[in-house]
A and B are shown apart, each in its own frame.
Chain A
Amino acid sequence: MSATAAINSADTRAVTNEVLLAVENVTLRFGGVTAINGVSFDIRKGEIRAIIGPNGAGKTSMLNCINGFYHPQEGRITYKGETRQRMRPHVAASQGIARTFQNVALFNGMTTLDNIMTGRTLKMSANIFWQMLRLGPALADEIKHREYCEEIIDFLEIEAIRKTPVGRLPYGLQKRVELARALAMQPDLLLLDEPMAGMNLEEKQDMCRFIIDVNKTFGTTIALIEHDMGVVMDLSDRVVVLEYGRKIADGTPDEVKSDQKVIDAYLGVSH
């Protein structure tokens, strides 16, 4: 489905009970350090799932396991009904898992447009000889995917910077371009690693709006790491809380908010 069609179609959310991704008893160790210790949770199709926890809880490591960058020593990850032990990142990408990074990881030497076009890499099929000539299938590819990228550029309201090298952009816009790049992959599962970190209130509001819009219009399932509790509680359908690599709570925002363990983890306990 093209982006425009998606935008014009249903404006209602389709949260289902179908499990898109299931993490079971995953344990990840770096030498003697256990970053994740027997964590299980699932992400349902169409929902916004938040992963929260204090610093060093293993949230980013969890995302890295999900998209194949780290290989957990124990446990299973089932995505779209398929269980896997080890997976290469590019395989995860081709199966529809996209992500953004805590510290912006854009391609600094390239323009906004080229960055977003890079997200279309896997969908382009013209071979290198056509690309040398930039005729036939190669040109058709470029134009077709440019159209898609332009729709995403419209969607995220970054028309004015499409030909600016991303290294020159302010931080808030860079975060937005990174989201655009991930969206260009037409992901089924979008992993956002602290999309709001370092933003001011207005930028945060914009970003929240975009996240909700993405979820609504494209039906993308979103897993989100965020430290701003207001954002987490408002956006997400369900929240999983990690602390020191263990899961301490899992449920709707309201359940999690009133969970004593979570309150202790965040506020500390007097000993």
Chain B
Amino acid sequence: MLYRETGQFKTSYANDMVIFPIRQDRIGVYLLLGFAFIVLPLMMAFHVAPFRTDYFLLAILLPFLILSLAAIGVNILVGYCGQISLGSGAFMAIGAYMAYKFGTGISEIGLPPMPIVIAILLGGLSAAFFGVLFGLPSLRIKGLYLAVATLAAQFFFDWVFLRVKWFTNYAPSGSVSAPELKFFGYLIATPVEKYMVALSFLTLFALVAKNLVRGNIGRQWMAIRDMDIAAELMGIRPLVAKLSAFAVSSFIIGIAGALWAFLRLGTWEPLAFDINRSLELLFMVIIGGLGSILGSFLGAAFILMLPIFLTVLPAELGVPITTETVSHLQNVIFGAMICFILIKEPLGFARLWQIGKEKLRMWPFPY
């Protein structure tokens, strides 16, 4: 009953084109942002209910924020521009390692250590550069063939970061540790602070991504996705549209990679960004909803939460099974649920959400 748009009139096109044209949605988003930026940090600071230990924050909330950001990046490429990519893990790795290099300074060219924010952004730019490079095949090949071509990026960079010692600053163990996390002179150390940094990046880039996909360049991406020949005959240049999608997407994925390495892992090896990561991100956008920013969040939440939920549930219910059985069962149920959801709603959670909202407008009447 509360969800009605009656009486909300749009008097200008600018008004009609806002992200959330319905007032209730706007209020909801402001409340959510307020909750995430103010209430949650306070709860964490005072160790209220779920935050008694740092587990919930570090194992669930922080990964959710960072992987949502990565999923938004993947969604721009796969969901909006229709170019299937299996190289997302590699672009995360590029973001992470290049941010590390810029953060610790590149002595060969006399580059001093950069401030951490700039290092992260430069990491994203490096990922964007290689994204464009590995996006070049998309001008000739489509679909599954392109997926295989981007897979090459994944294996190539796995190898590079394992074998080329320059990227790890010649660390004998092959693993690297994040430089000191000083954001604008403020040292980030506690989980709450890490959460705030991740949340700020996510909010900023989610807004940027949304602005892009509803603007001119976003329409070009979708046009290329839906009907590339018609798009070309309307003056859209496939080269520009596809490569810009690769650039923006890899940039965001690269930033997410740098955040993942610096905030979540601290110390990492190339294994953290292997093919499994790429697949996981692809599953997130497919299940969440291709071509939807909201879907990126929902998919990330689902893929992250479900395994944890499946692990915790038997123990909570007091079912006497071994941890080994649990982890096997988890894979089975996880796979089955993905199949089930994709059969029931191929357009993902975002579509379910949309249907729910449409029903809510009429509620309690069916139409």
Residues of A at the B interface (CB closer than 8 Å) are 67, 69, 89-90, 92-94, 98-99, 101, 105-110, 114, 117-119, 121-122, 124, 126, 128, 131-134, 138-139, 141-143, 146-147, 150, 181, 185
Contacts and interface: CB of A to CB of B under 8 A. Distances in A.
Interface string B209-242: 0011011110110110111011111111100000
Contact of A107 (B214, B226, B235): B226
A93 B234 contact: yes
Contact of A98 (B14, B232, B234): B234
Given A131-B215, A138-B215, A181 B13 contact: no
B208 interface: yes
Contacts of B220: 118, 121
A181 B234 contact: yes
B219 A121 contact: yes
A132 to B, nearest CB: 5
Contacts of B211: 131-134, 138
A231 B43 CA distance: 72
B-side interface mostly: helix
A6 B236 CA distance: 26
Contacts of A126: 216
Contact of A106 (B12, B208, B227): B227
Contacts of B225: 107, 109
A134 B226 contact: no
Smallest CB-CB A-B distances: 8 pairs: A93-B235, A107-B226, A105-B230, A134-B211, A122-B235, A131-B215, A146-B13, A124-B216
Contacts of A108: 226-227
B63 interface: no
A108 B222 CA distance: 9
Contacts of B231: 107, 118
A127 to B, nearest CB: 9
B238 to A, nearest CB: 9
Contact of A134 (B215, B237, B248): B215
A163 to B, nearest CB: 9
